[in-house]
Amino acid sequence: MPETSLLPVRQVLLIAYMTGVLWLRRNPMSLVFTAISPFSLLFVLFVVSGGQYIHFAVAGSLVMALVGYGLALGQDISFYKTEYKVQDVFVASPVSPLTYMVGLALSELLFGLPALLVLATLVVYFGSVFSIPLLVATILLIWGAMSALGFFLSSHMLHMRNATQVISFVNVILAVLPPVFYSMDVMPDVLRPLAYAVPTTHASLMLQDIMGIPTPADWSLEFGFAIQIAYLLAFITLAKTKALWREN
Amino acid sequence: MLAIDAIGVTKVYRSASQPAIKDISLRVEAGKIFTLLGRNGAGKTTFVRMCATQLLPTSGTISVLGYDAVRQAKHVRDLISIVPQEGRPLRALTPWDHVYNWLQIRGDSKSAARDKTEVMLRKLEIYGARDSPAMNLSGGMKQKILVAMAMATDAQLLFLDEPTIGLDPVSRRQVWTAIKDWKSKGGSILLTTHYMDEAEMLSDYIVIIDKGMIIAQGTIQELRKVIPQNIRVDIARDTLDVDTLKSYGSVVDTGAGMLRIFTFESAVRELSDLALRHNLSFTVSSVTLDDVFVYIMGNGIIDDQNARD
Ligand SMILES: Nc1ncnc2c1ncn2[C@@H]1O[C@H](COP(=O)(O)OP(=O)(O)OP(=O)(O)O)[C@@H](O)[C@H]1O
Ligand SMILES: [Mg+2]
């Protein structure tokens, strides 16, 4: 038996290995598809704006991709639960729900790795290498929050039919409506508090900040971190307490 | 030590008006194979899932290996292992991937996991296919992967919800052997099955449930006594007069143009003469659990009075 305190870490890595690495090794083509999709909006915005809009497009695409991985996690979890009964096996075992979730989220991240690397490289290219720690922190925060949200939502996606509806709704709320792809400046004053209430707004602002785009005067990095950490904790709590593990 | 001690357990699903399990109390002794039988929808899976900490009971208490299944689920989960009904392995993963990694997830070292995986895959005869992705395997082999995952662990209590569904007769026997090996190492098992020969072969104790309630229980010997006679004779129905047959015992319509008479040794000769006179095929054997089950469920019985006691 390995040291008990390290077992959850080992479990996370093994779950990610089984559902991510092994899967990819046998279906390498799927990596191509997941790698390409985050660039569609980037491409459109780049072309339409004649290249001017590239910073917002990069920030928005990165945030949207991470939202997408969280939602895909939710879909995978509900699929594993209903179609494979994998979750049944995990529930009736020493694996905790959080371990299960993080393992699968890690595997989701693995699928997104090529796109993430390209987008992150673009951020660093427009910003500087010194901002890499901030960039990594931004990515991890939003990835964690979205994964927890995805796990929570998985309970509401148990039927594949409303899964797609839930996914597109949340995607609109988190990645389309708030200033993720566009500047806070164009947001009417009355709507600003609303925009600040959405975690993805802050993720995008951080990325814009890293790339040297002026951010609103009433926003700061600390503010962005505070809101995002609050959401991360809230979503994890939601996932831990409200996501379907043991059914009732 | 009890493997499971359920007291007054009731389950009403949120979307349902009727309880799926109604006030069930039962005790599963450790080191034994305990079997739940019942028709489709009787509540077997519901009961198993509550004991295996997958589903909350609406009321009642369930203690599993000394721990409360609701409040001390974490302790319970360290000690159990399951084969879910209608589970499926992950498509891209091989039998080896499933079992070997699962054992490590449950805390085994690499080398222990390797040894146990090899032993179990050989025992269930899927070692030859250990490196084939599950999507290229037959339905029965996929089912064996799930059985192997559960049975390669060293949990103390195993929940097997229809573990041999879809397996060929040889494969089923391999699973039976694994189940018996598990028991001989001191492990406990809660089994559900629709195969009466399987239940007869394996069970130390059987509980039959219907519409969420226990309607019969006991060892196989005890349950056999539900049918007063000990012999059964199957005769093609053809032109036979059912009333004549009734004079020998209880008559059951087994479908497909066959009648089954539960009777005693003393009547076998007369019945065989009768069959020979009418030139009908017939077989004689002892009463099985299958008969007991159908008898208890009250299906197909033309006459359950015992004319000849
Ligand atoms: N998630 C659920 N929500 C509502 N009702 C359910 C749910 N699962 C099962 N039921 C109902 O509970 C009852 C018992 O179902 P259960 O699956 O426990 O039966 P079972 O004995 O395992 O049947 P089978 O032999 O077909 O597997 C059935 O009436 C079923 O429709
Ligand atoms: Mg069932």
Q: Do B125 and B259 sit in the same domain of this protein?
A: no
Q: Do B183 and B268 sit in the same domain of this protein?
A: no
Enumerate the residues of chain A whose CB falls inside 8 A of the CB of residue B50.
none
Rounded distance between C-alpha atoms, residue B82 and residue A52, angstroms:
57
Q: Do B85 and B144 sit in the same domain of this protein?
A: yes
Nearest to B53 among A17, A22, A246 (CB): A246
Percent of chain B whose pLDDT exceeds 70: 96
How many Å from the N-terminal Cα to the C-terminal Cα in chain A? 33
**Distances, alpha carbon B104 to alpha carbons A86, B2, B23, B112, B228, in Å:** 16, 28, 38, 9, 52
Enumerate the residues of chain B whose CB falls inside 8 A of the CB of residue A110.
none
Distance B300 CA to ligand 1 centre (A): 24
The H-or-E segment that residue B67 falls in is strand B67-68
Sign of the dihedral defined by the CA atoms of residues A194, A200, A206, A208, in that order = negative
Enumerate the residues of chain B whose CB falls inside 8 A of the CB of residue A76.
none
Q: Do B71 and B218 sit in the same domain of this protein?
A: yes
Q: Do B24 and B115 sit in the same domain of this protein?
A: yes
Which residues approach ligand 1 with their CB closer than 6 A?
B 13, 15-16, 20, 38, 40-46, 85
Residue nearest to atom 17 of ligand 1 (CA): B45
Q: Do A92 and B82 touch (CB under 8 A)?
A: yes
Sign of the dihedral defined by the CA atoms of residues B185, B186, B190, B193, in that order = positive
Nearest to B93 among A18, A89, A95 (CB): A18
Provide the edge-to-edge strand list for the sheet that holds B80-83: B80-83, B157-161, B188-192, B33-37, B205-210, B213-218
- The percent of chain A in helix, strand and coil, each rounded to the nearest 5, is 80, 0, 20
Tell which residue, B153, B161, B30, has the closest CA to residue B83: B161
- pLDDT recorded at residue B300: 57
Write out the two tokens for B304. 């359950």
- pLDDT recorded at residue B162: 97
Q: What is the pLDDT along chain A (248 residues), one digit of tens a residue?
A: 445 678 999 999 999 999 999 999 988 888 888 888 888 888 888 888 888 889 999 999 999 999 999 989 998 898 898 889 999 999 999 999 999 999 999 999 999 999 999 999 999 999 989 999 999 999 999 999 999 999 998 877 776 677 788 888 999 999 999 999 999 988 888 999 999 999 999 999 999 999 999 999 999 999 999 999 999 999 999 998 888 888 88
Enumerate the residues of chain B whose CB falls inside 8 A of the CB of residue A19.
90
Rounded distance between C-alpha atoms, residue B121 and residue B117, angstroms:
6
- pLDDT recorded at residue A41: 86
CA distance B11 to chain A (A): 9
Q: Name, in order, each residue with C-beta under 8 angstroms of B150's C-beta and a sequence gap of 6 or more.
A: A89, B81, B82, B83, B158, B160
Distance A82 CA to ligand 2 centre (A): 15
User: Which residue, B223, B256, B280, sits at the end of a domain?
Assistant: B223
Tell which residue, A183, A245, A235, A237, has the closest CA to residue A71: A235
Q: Do B137 and B184 sit in the same domain of this protein?
A: yes
**Distances, alpha carbon B286 to alpha carbons B29, B67, B205, in Å:** 29, 42, 20
Residue ranges in chain B assigned as alpha helix (H) = 44-51, 73-79, 95-105, 110-123, 139-151, 169-184, 196-202, 220-224, 242-246, 265-277, 289-297
What would the mean pLDDT of B168-188 be, rounded to a whole number? 96
pLDDT digits (tens, 9 = 90+) for B226-284: 998 999 999 988 777 888 888 898 888 888 888 899 999 999 999 999 888 888 888 99
The H-or-E segment that residue B39 falls in is none
Tell which residue, B7, B45, B55, B290, has the closest CA to residue B160: B45
Chain A residue with minimal CA distance to B97?
A: A18
Nearest to B87 among A27, A88, A93 (CB): A88
Tell which residue, A179, A154, A131, has the closest CA to residue A76: A154
Residue nearest to atom 9 of ligand 1 (CA): B46
- pLDDT recorded at residue B306: 40
What would the mean pLDDT of B86-90 be, rounded to a whole number? 93
Q: Do B236 and B219 sit in the same domain of this protein?
A: no
Q: What ligand 1 atom has the least distance to the C-alpha of A247?
A: 1
Is B229 in the A-facing interface, judged by CB distances under 8 Å? no
Chain B residue with minimal CA distance to A103?
A: B105
- pLDDT recorded at residue B299: 56
Write out the two tokens for B243. 């009333």
CB hemisphere CA count around A172 (13 angstroms): 5
Q: How confident is the model at residue B295 (pLDDT cuts 50, 70, 90)?
A: confident
What DSSP string runs through B219-236?
-HHHHHTTSS--EEEEEE
CA distance A24 to chain B (A): 9
**Distances, alpha carbon A1 to alpha carbons A6, A16, B105, in Å:** 11, 20, 11
Q: Do B167 and B43 sit in the same domain of this protein?
A: yes
User: Which residue, B196, B223, B250, sits at the end of a domain?
Assistant: B223
Q: Do B178 and B298 sit in the same domain of this protein?
A: no
Rounded distance between C-alpha atoms, residue B217 and residue B17, angstroms:
27
| DSSP bridge partners of B2 | B29
User: Which residue, B174, B198, B223, sits at the end of a domain?
Assistant: B223
The H-or-E segment that residue B23 falls in is strand B21-29
- Cα-only R_g, chain B: 22
The H-or-E segment that residue A60 falls in is helix A54-79
Ranked by mean pLDDT, the top range of A50-64, A70-84, B151-165, B290-304 is: B151-165
Q: Which domain holds residue B124?
A: 2-223
Residue type (1 letter), B54: Q
Write out the two tokens for B265. 């040794």
Give the pTM.
0.90
- pLDDT recorded at residue B255: 82
Nearest to B106 among A27, A86, A93 (CB): A93
The residue length of chain A stands at 248
The H-or-E segment that residue B199 falls in is helix B196-202
Residue nearest to atom 1 of ligand 1 (CA): B13
Enumerate the residues of chain A whose CB falls inside 8 A of the CB of residue B86.
85
Distance A105 CA to ligand 1 centre (A): 31
Q: How confident is the model at residue B309 (pLDDT cuts 50, 70, 90)?
A: very low
Nearest ligand (C-alpha, residue B55): 1
Is B39 in the A-facing interface, judged by CB distances under 8 Å? no
- pLDDT recorded at residue B303: 55
Q: Do B120 and B194 sit in the same domain of this protein?
A: yes
Q: How confident is the model at residue B44 (pLDDT cuts 50, 70, 90)?
A: very high
Rounded distance between C-alpha atoms, residue A42 and residue A47, angstroms:
9
- pLDDT recorded at residue B135: 94
- pLDDT recorded at residue B301: 63
Rounded distance between C-alpha atoms, residue B223 and residue B294, angstroms:
12
| DSSP bridge partners of A110 | none
Mean pLDDT, chain B, integer: 93
Q: Name, in order, each residue with C-beta under 8 angstroms of A176's C-beta and a sequence gap of 6 or more.
A: none
Residue B1 has pLDDT above 90, yes or no: no
Enumerate the residues of chain B whose CB falls inside 8 A of the CB of residue A26.
92, 133
Tell which residue, A124, A153, A2, A138, has the closest CA to residue A55: A124
**Distances, alpha carbon A100 to alpha carbons A14, A81, B69, B113, in Å:** 10, 12, 20, 20
Q: Which of B14, B46, B207, B215 to mutate to test the pocket of ligand 1 (most atoms within 8 A of CB)?
A: B46
Distance B211 CA to ligand 1 centre (A): 10
Q: Count other Cβ atoms within 10 Å, centred on residue A230.
A: 12
Write out the two tokens for B290. 């299958």
Distance B49 CA to ligand 2 centre (A): 10
Residues belonging to chain A with any Cβ–Cβ distance to chain B shorter than 8 Å: 1-2, 7, 10-11, 14-15, 17-19, 22-23, 26-27, 83-86, 88-89, 91-95, 246-248
- pLDDT recorded at residue A162: 75
Nearest to A84 among B73, B90, B159 (CB): B90
Q: Do B165 and B121 sit in the same domain of this protein?
A: yes
Q: How many domains does chain B have?
A: 2
CA distance A150 to chain B (A): 21
Q: Do A84 and B89 touch (CB under 8 A)?
A: yes
Q: Do B263 and B152 sit in the same domain of this protein?
A: no
